[in-house]
Structure 1
Amino acid sequence: MAQRNAPITCLASETLSDIFRYTLPSRPPLVYSPFPAPTFPIPNSSQAPLLLCQISSRFCEIAGADPRLWRSLCTEKIVNPQLMEVWLKQAGDISLSLRIARALGPSPQWPLVYINPSILPDLSYISPIQHYLPILLPKISQCRQLQMVDCFIPQFVPPVSFLVLESLSVTIQRTNLPAARWLSHALGGAPRLTRFHWSGPAVAVPWAQLSHLSLDVKPFGPSLLRSVLDTATQVQHLRLHFELAIPHLQTTSVQLSVTTFSIVGGSQLAHSIILPNLTHLIIEWAGPTSNADDSDLPSFLQHSQCAITTLEVWELPFLGFPNVLLSRQVSHSLRHLVIVSK
């Protein structure tokens, strides 16, 4: 009896190529999160697109000819620079989504480089990012989405222009000033940047063009907060992370554009910021180190005279939760309540 081919093999190459895009790894975002985490695939022979190349010669040819399948990549666990080079070559000249992260921990497959234990006492070894730089630098200006985690950028690295960059997420040590200066200079040539997450030392950023801003700066002083609030006048989704209390401002800042506000660490907002058009409030964490009073958030909502339709609480117990839920700005308008508790 002749072996029958699976129906999918009879489809046109263009149709198969479109289907292959839906086989790429993905992660479901939180239901109402305004700061979705993009998926950066780690090369894995049991997942697409590499898995597609093992099914048949035709599937391999179709997958290899579609740069859209190779436009996203996480470098964190790649110990073979040749694999990274081949992957990025498959992407061609289209816009990229890259996560550039330093792989921590000793690896028997890669030479070890010792770093100063006084800076990172618990992380003594890193994979040498300098081996990846010759491969990554020619491609980094193609990035539409870029995520950099704890990256060391040597002094010799030339500045780049992010002409197509739309979303940037950076997490670095607050002592990593060379990386902060390099990125600050590069962002002067990022006309399309609208989504920005920063965790690290203070940095100069084109705040005025941003629609999504997530900021975690240590120390987060009043001058920086005032500068951000005065300049980032187009921000619709705002996330602020405070180590302790929110810096007190001499005059209250009114932000008309903000509709979604996410706060981490502190809640003394009533005398610092007013958000009259706020509809989506996210309380990520309001632990004891925030020195928060139970009435702080209700007072902020009352001053803002907003109408909350979506409330998210990501960490319980949160002592002020009943007061927030019963406040007039929440109880009369709330449609969606999301509670995420570990």
Structure 2
Amino acid sequence: MFDPNRTLALVKGALLDAETTWRSYLPEAGDWKRTALLFTGPLIVLSTVLAYLGGLTSSGSSLLGMFRPTIASSLFNMVFAVIGIGIAAFIYSALAGVFGGKRDFALGLAALTLAFVPGYVGQAFSWLPWIGGLLAFGLGIYSLVLLWRILPLYLEVPAAKHAAHYIVSLIATIIVMAVLGSLFAGMRPGADISRSFDTGSYSDSGNPLSESGSLLGAAVRQGELMAAAQEDQYTPPADGELAEKQVKDFIRTMSRVAEVRQAKAAQLQELKARAENDEEMSIGDLTSMMGSATGLAGIGGVEIEIVKTSGGNWAEHTWVRDSLRTAWLQKDINDTVKHNYELYQEYESELAPYIQ
């Protein structure tokens, strides 16, 4: 049930004494409906209403280029914000389970709401003259910092896997929201709806919100591979010398990584050309575009996948890479480096693109 005094106390606490507020709310966070009615919903409504009222006094657009909101656009933004935080909570909690934490939607929703209180405040005051846009941007970044800090407390992701969980979840959320934003763009009041997207046969496999779908499913798979890679252990030989087989395996892996990235780049270029030519884009095209872009700008996901699916050891792979780079930099600083540099020279034409 909505309690305005409790809501205001949570907002104040999240802004002024974040960690204490997080810990005090944790026993209540297991009920997502309570969080939605007490905290998430009121925050979204209040920030949107304040942004609308602030927009009435503005000159027409904010510092960040947003146009003055209307009642219709504000209602649309409110609905999209509700959908957005629900999707984000689902993604962060689903991937928390992959990385050894709690897979709990209610805790994910509570964590995201608490972390993004500054972001909602920034949205509410984004129409202030001169400083509104910068304030909204700065508080949005601060919310991401708070999200980094709150996730281990609420979703209990192990410290060793915290960074991977945070990054993969953030990328997956951005991708899904970008696709949904593209799909719903024509529904926004005042938008040009002359172009439409071909939804085709919209099955679960094409649903970007489904764990079996191409977007979230790929993120979950990448998360599983990264979690498995982080558990790999490797003890280098006592003399620190590389074996020729290790160098050959490294070359094979990196060559395959380059091939996959080239294929993704070509796919992205083709889809980009279609978009620029105003050709009709389907949901599958949009998800492919976002997936290819993420693969190119990713965090080693392709490299990890190729190592792990070939039965390799990620810890050994990274040791080989680091040893080769040290050898390239130092050449003959000691007997170990000298040995490794001789191996590097033997395969320099193949290794150079990945080491230098």
TM-score, normalization: structure 1? 0.23
Which entry has the higher C-alpha Rg, 1 or 2? Answer: 2
Task: Give the structure with the larger helix fraction.
Answer: 2
TM-score, normalization: structure 2? 0.23
| RCO higher in structure (CA 8 A, sep ≥6) | 2
